[in-house]
Amino acid sequence: MLNSKIPAGSLDKKWEDYKGHCKLVNPANKRNMEVIIVGTGLAGASAAASLGELGYKVKAFCFQDSPRRAHSIAAQGGINAAKNYQNDGDSVFRLFYDTVKGGDYRAREANVHRLAEVSGNIIDQCVAQGVPFAREYGGLLSNRSFGGTQVQRTFYAAGQTGQQLLLGAYSALERQVALGNVTMYSRHEMLEVVTIDGKARGIIARDLITGKLERHFGHAVLLCTGGYGNVFYLSTNAMGSNVTAAWKATRKGAYFGNPCYTQIHPTCIPVSGDHQSKLTLMSESLRNDGRIWVPKKQNDNRKPSDIPEEERDYYLERRYPAFGNLVPRDVASRAAKERCDAGYGVGSSRQAVYLDYAAAIERYGKIEANKRNLHNASSADITKLGKEVVAEKYGNLFDMYAKITGENPYEVPMRIYPAVHYTMGGLWVDYELMTSITGLYALGEANFSDHGANRLGASALMQGLADGYFVIPYTLGNYLADDIRTKAIPTDHPAFVEAEKHVQDTINKMMSIKGTKSVDHFHKKLGKIMWDKCGMARNEKGLKEAIVEIQQLREEFWKDVRIPGDANEYNPELEKAGRVADFLELGELMCVDALNRRESCGGHFREESQTEDGEAQRDDANFAYVAAWEYKGPSQFELHKEPLEFVECKPTQRSYK
Amino acid sequence: MEHYNMNLTLKVWRQKNTDAQGHFETYPVSGISSEMSFLEMFDVLNERLINEGKEPIAFDHDCREGICGACSMHINGRAHGPWAGTTTCQLHMRAFKDGDTVTVEPWRAGSFPVVKDLTVDRGAFDRIIAAGGYVSVNTGNAQDANNILVAKDKADAAFAAAACIGCGACVAACKNSSAMLFVSAKVSQLALLPQGHPEKKTRALNMIAQMDSEGFGSCTNTGACEAECPKEISLTNIARLNREYIVAGFSYEK
């Protein structure tokens, strides 16, 4: 049964004790142990580099043309760490507490505490690698604040923190490639986990250029393959982000944890038409200075500049006077949806709200005029000065907005709407990051463990690197120490033969359908079902409908999808088809999980479970558990519960009023 | 901004694989919205090709927000198309008008062989980084982050160089197919920071040696790379690389 293997002892001693007592593999034996790592984002690249340094024989796989392109690269805002460089009261405990509370009391305390403990080491490591974090004039590191906290603990590199951290990990990875400790397989996609005697012993991967299937042995397999937000078709994920590796593991017996926990980010550029292929995030930092509003009148067609102040509804400030525009992501997203659904949305689609910088420009302009001793400055001068200040703080974001929309956000309020951004759910793992398949691990966004039902800003980068640099080097050794007598298993072993045949059969089946509709056709349809019925708000009726609709769509897919070209060549449509086939199964499980969880918590909002004023209502008596789902066959999932105990953080109702 | 629809004529490079002979094919596309991104226009075309039973056009793309560096189209003779400081995925159809003819090619460089259609192999860049584009520090060796002081202007300059997305536009834009801007961005980032100093000589020598062995051409200071770089990496980085390389060449003892 589910054993989370949380070490005994007080919360702040668990990880220390674990490190002191876990088993080790001596250097001579490490040289004979092979580790397969799938995915080269922050978690995968940092794990590959660290394990290569330790002397393991590592094989790393990514579907992109280079490991540097993994979607961690697109993270904007920053990375949290309990350094307390600002002397503003931060500590390991406070970071731990904020994360558990921010996750609406649905995360595992022991994992989160370990995350907070190693957070400081991450910053040290990245700086040592030459990651150019923002600095103060004295040469010290700079920090900024982020949502859901009262301290400044976020380290950043302009709006490109993910890029800089990933390039640091990628450089470390390439160094190990040069040293021969890591073999890199770019443009390779993992399509099956191979298990022998109940242990993960390798993978089947497809060379995306030649289409050839390859068998790779490993004493252990690490999945660092990110989240599954693209099940919604439109999301802020990269086009290639997918659930395939995690889903193949699920079908092989790994449990999937809390699949319904999805983060919808409030500030994204809205959909502009049916052609839309993806959505673009505008950093949460914009809510520091921008004011969010809609017209007080329904279906108001006036230009924003023609709507006078008294006819604007600053609904976040109205509903949440204590936090105003800086409420957490889940709250801000639901509030925007509520206004748009009620007919107050703006823009041609009416699915948008304004994010307005006019007040900030004026406020900064006045401060700047005072600084420069300009008394009686004209309002034009104040506006000009204010725009300069805003450009310095948010220039790259404003430029991006202008490129995409063709509008000038310094003059016209930006239009924004929530979009799928991150998935807190993922493969169920124990304290050692091992899934329910022995020897199969999941790191980073691919696992479920640290963010509960809602992730705080700047915590995803922290978790990916914590898992890869500082957790897996210990926990993997603890497993492999008992495996040193296992020789490399030849890949003509029947388990490899059978796994490859299974993959080949699936590809053949898909290619032979020769239907009439493109892969995107099905993906878009699935996305619409998920967004309408398993998106920002969910209810029993909708979820039950969605399950049936997804089953029908899946059937239609397997009868009518059209994949041009051949299987034995570079064929992006075939790659997409495989991923969408897996999304069509995962989507159903997400709805099953959402249906089962008859409470609202974090990003999961069940309309039946809300307070009188429309806030999320948790049900700790009945749902303080991790829902770990076991795949039992098509449309058959068995629920296993891991009860959550809160020793240090006692659950309370979150309030931002 | 006024939205409008347009009809275009696309001339797109088609090539079945690395060894096959390539050629241009002409595709009329209609009803393209000025709000679409350039790649969304390709999505529309590909959807049509699939429905007509033809093979869609292969091209690299992933994040579609200008940061992963995957997209790589040579549009009307310019790497990433007509907008300055912009990747192909961030180029929008507002840049074009009704009736335009748009020619789209893959990156053209011997060191970037065509994989299929508009997709090329940029593995050479990974191998150049593997030759020295890092600080040799194993996980766990780091001292406290604030023990290393870095002057803000140096840190800012290092960041500006580190913003390179490795897309290869610099190579595609250069008449010599030189990779100097790419190499110089990494060498500069680490030369500007104290963390990079112990290995600065070997780094410059080894990365340049790898660049040469990959077959990239020489730099003749025409500056096309800087003009076409979507992240506006500065030519001064090449000057810094030359300085690092010359100093290393004269003073490196082995």
Residues A391 and A507 in one domain: no
> For residue B254, what pLDDT is reported?
67
Instruction: List the single residue in B61, B63, B159 with the smallest CB-CB distance to A74.
Output: B63
- Interface probe with A: pick from B68, B118, B190, most Cβ of A within 10 Å: B68
Any idea what the CATH number is for the domain that residue A520 is in? 1.20.58.100
Taking only residues 187 to 216 of chain B, the set having a beta carbon closer than 8 angstroms to any beta carbon of chain A reads 189-190, 193, 195-196
How close B41 gets to chain A, by Cα (Å)? 8
Residue where a domain terminates, one of A362, A393, A420: A420
Provide the strand spans (E) within A22-159.
34-38, 57-61, 79-80, 154-155
Cross-chain residue pair B134–A134, CB shorter than 8 Å = no
> Residues A538, A589: contact at Cβ < 8 Å?
no
Scan for tokens 């088609």, then name that residue. Answer: B14
Q: For chain B, how many helices (H) and strands (E)?
A: 8, 7
Residue where a domain terminates, one of A363, A398, A420: A420
- How far apart are the C-alpha atoms of A413 and A394, rounded to whole Å? 14
**Nearest to residue A131, comparing CAs of B241, B155, B244?**
B155
Cross-chain residue pair B165–A157, CB shorter than 8 Å = no
A412 in any annotated domain: yes
Residues A416 and A500 in one domain: no
What mean pLDDT, rounded, does chain A reach?
A: 95
Tell whether the model's pLDDT for residue A474 goes beyond 70: yes
The tokens describing A454, both together, are 């809602």
Per-residue pLDDT, averaged over B22-28, amounts to 98
Residues A500 and A405 in one domain: no
Residues A288 and A370 in one domain: yes
> Residues A107, A99: contact at Cβ < 8 Å?
yes
The tokens describing A15, both together, are 């990880």
Cβ-Cβ contacts under 8 Å for B159 (sequence gap 6 or more) = A132, A134, A157, A158, A164, B189
Residues A515 and A403 in one domain: no
Cross-chain residue pair A275–B152, CB shorter than 8 Å = no
Q: Could you give the 3-state DSSP secondary structure of residue B15?
A: coil
> For residue A613, what pLDDT is reported?
84
Cross-chain residue pair A64–B142, CB shorter than 8 Å = no
Cβ-based contacts of B123 with chain A (< 8 Å): 65-66, 186
Cross-chain residue pair A158–B159, CB shorter than 8 Å = yes
> Residues A110, A7: contact at Cβ < 8 Å?
yes
A30 in any annotated domain: no
How close B236 gets to chain A, by Cα (Å)? 18
> For residue A170, what pLDDT is reported?
98
Cβ-based contacts of A239 with chain B (< 8 Å): 61-64
Cβ-based contacts of B136 with chain A (< 8 Å): 175
Residues A406 and A524 in one domain: no
Residues A521 and A615 in one domain: yes
How close A302 gets to chain B, by Cα (Å)? 15
- How far apart are the C-alpha atoms of A354 and A348, rounded to whole Å? 13
Instruction: List the single residue in A160, A273, A565 with the smallest CB-CB distance to B163.
Output: A160
DSSP per-residue letters across B128-160: HHHTT-S----TT----GGGS---HHHHHHHHH
Cross-chain residue pair B193–A132, CB shorter than 8 Å = yes
Taking only residues 31 to 50 of chain B, the set having a beta carbon closer than 8 angstroms to any beta carbon of chain A reads 33-37, 39-40, 43-44, 47, 49-50
Residues A517 and A610 in one domain: yes
Cross-chain residue pair B129–A470, CB shorter than 8 Å = no
- How far apart are the C-alpha atoms of A283 and A28, rounded to whole Å? 47
Per-residue pLDDT, averaged over A313-319, amounts to 95
The tokens describing A197, both together, are 């005697």
A300 in any annotated domain: yes
When divided into structural domains, chain A yields a total of: 2
A376 in any annotated domain: yes
Radius of gyration of chain A (CA): 25
**Nearest to residue B24, comparing CAs of B15, B9, B13?**
B13
- Phi first, then psi: give them for residue A559, nearest 5 degrees: -105, -30
Tell whether the model's pLDDT for residue A5 goes beyond 70: yes
H helices present in chain B, as ranges: 38-51, 123-130, 152-162, 169-173, 180-192, 200-213, 224-228, 236-251
Sign of CA dihedral A175, A177, A181, A184: positive
Cβ-based contacts of B58 with chain A (< 8 Å): 570, 572
Cβ-Cβ contacts under 8 Å for A411 (sequence gap 6 or more) = none
A36 in any annotated domain: no
Cross-chain residue pair B151–A139, CB shorter than 8 Å = yes
Cross-chain residue pair B126–A66, CB shorter than 8 Å = yes
Cross-chain residue pair B64–A565, CB shorter than 8 Å = no
A490-495 LR contacts (CB < 8 Å, sep 24+): A490/A217, A491/A202, A491/A215, A491/A216, A491/A217, A493/A196, A495/A194, A495/A195, A495/A196, A495/A201
Residue A322 pLDDT grade (very low, low, confident, very high; cuts 50, 70, 90)? confident
Residue A213 amino acid letter: L
Per-residue pLDDT, averaged over B136-157, amounts to 96
A254 in any annotated domain: no
Cβ-based contacts of A513 with chain B (< 8 Å): none
Cross-chain residue pair B135–A273, CB shorter than 8 Å = no
Cβ-based contacts of B70 with chain A (< 8 Å): 64-65, 69
Cα A127 to chain center, whole Å?
24
Radius of gyration of chain B (CA): 21
Residues A382 and A289 in one domain: yes
Per-residue pLDDT, averaged over A144-164, amounts to 87
Scan for tokens 């056009």, then name that residue. Answer: B57
Per-residue pLDDT, averaged over A40-55, amounts to 98
Cβ-based contacts of B63 with chain A (< 8 Å): 69, 71, 73-74, 238-239
Residues A523 and A410 in one domain: no
Residue A467 amino acid letter: D
H helices present in A406-493, as ranges: 460-465, 472-480
Tell whether the model's pLDDT for residue A554 goes beyond 90: yes
Instruction: List the single residue in A125, A406, A565 with the smallest CB-CB distance to B142.
Output: A125
Higher-confidence residue of A274 and A522: namely A522
Cross-chain residue pair B92–A125, CB shorter than 8 Å = no
> Residues A471, A433: contact at Cβ < 8 Å?
yes
- Asked if this assembly's ipTM is beyond 0.95, the reply is yes
| pLDDT digits 0-9 by tens, A575-586 | 999 999 999 999
Cross-chain residue pair B62–A125, CB shorter than 8 Å = no
| pLDDT digits 0-9 by tens, A195-248 | 999 999 999 999 999 999 999 999 999 999 999 999 999 999 999 999 999 999
> Residues A280, B39: contact at Cβ < 8 Å?
no
Chain B residue closest in CA terms to A124: B145
| Distances from the Cα of B81 to the Cα of A67, B85, B111, B253, angstroms | 25, 10, 21, 45
> Residues B126, A66: contact at Cβ < 8 Å?
yes
Sorted by where each starts, the structural domains of chain B and their CATH numbers stand as 5-116 (3.10.20.30), 122-251 (1.10.1060.10)
> Residues A384, A365: contact at Cβ < 8 Å?
yes
A585 in any annotated domain: yes
How close B249 gets to chain A, by Cα (Å)? 22
**Nearest to residue A500, comparing CAs of A267, A191, A218?**
A191
Q: Can you give the residue range of the structural domain that contains A577?
A: 493-622
**Nearest to residue A143, comparing CAs of A90, A93, A73?**
A90
H helices present in A561-656, as ranges: 572-596, 620-623
How close A54 gets to chain B, by Cα (Å)? 9
Cross-chain residue pair B68–A125, CB shorter than 8 Å = no
Which range (A362-376, A509-523, B54-68, B132-146) has the least confidence?
A362-376
Cβ-based contacts of A27 with chain B (< 8 Å): none
> Residues A26, A42: contact at Cβ < 8 Å?
no
- How far apart are the C-alpha atoms of A275 and B126, rounded to whole Å? 34
| Distances from the Cα of A488 to the Cα of A31, A57, A184, angstroms | 12, 11, 19
- How far apart are the C-alpha atoms of A656 and B136, rounded to whole Å? 46
Residues A407 and A276 in one domain: yes
Size of interface A-B (CB pairs under 8 A): 218
- Interface probe with B: pick from A166, A278, A562, most Cβ of B within 10 Å: A278
Cβ-Cβ contacts under 8 Å for A495 (sequence gap 6 or more) = A194, A195, A196, A201
Residue A274 pLDDT grade (very low, low, confident, very high; cuts 50, 70, 90)? confident
Per-residue pLDDT, averaged over B83-101, amounts to 97
Angle, CA B156 vertex, CA B152 and CA B158 arms, to 5°: 115
Instruction: List the single residue in B49, B138, B146 with the smallest CB-CB distance to A53.
Output: B138
The tokens describing A488, both together, are 């490399």
- How far apart are the C-alpha atoms of B138 and A248, rounded to whole Å? 33
How close B149 gets to chain A, by Cα (Å)? 5
| pLDDT digits 0-9 by tens, A420-453 | 999 999 999 999 999 999 999 999 999 999 999 9
Cβ-Cβ contacts under 8 Å for A200 (sequence gap 6 or more) = A193, A194, A218, A220, A221, A437, A438, A439, A440
| pLDDT digits 0-9 by tens, A88-131 | 999 999 999 999 998 999 999 999 999 999 999 999 999 999 99
Per-residue pLDDT, averaged over A326-341, amounts to 90
> For residue A292, what pLDDT is reported?
96
Any idea what the CATH number is for the domain that residue A279 is in? 3.90.700.10
Cβ-based contacts of B60 with chain A (< 8 Å): 65
Residues A368 and A513 in one domain: no
Tell whether the model's pLDDT for residue B1 goes beyond 70: no
Residue where a domain terminates, one of A420, A451, A469: A420
Tell whether the model's pLDDT for residue A181 goes beyond 70: yes
Residues of A labelled catalytic: 329
- How far apart are the C-alpha atoms of A561 and A29, rounded to whole Å? 49
* A171-183 residues labelled b (16+ CB within 10 A) or e (exposed): bbbbbbbbeebbb
Cβ-based contacts of A53 with chain B (< 8 Å): 138-139
DSSP state of A142: P
Residue A273 amino acid letter: G
The answer to whether B53 faces chain A, any CB pair under 8 Å, is: yes
A628 in any annotated domain: no
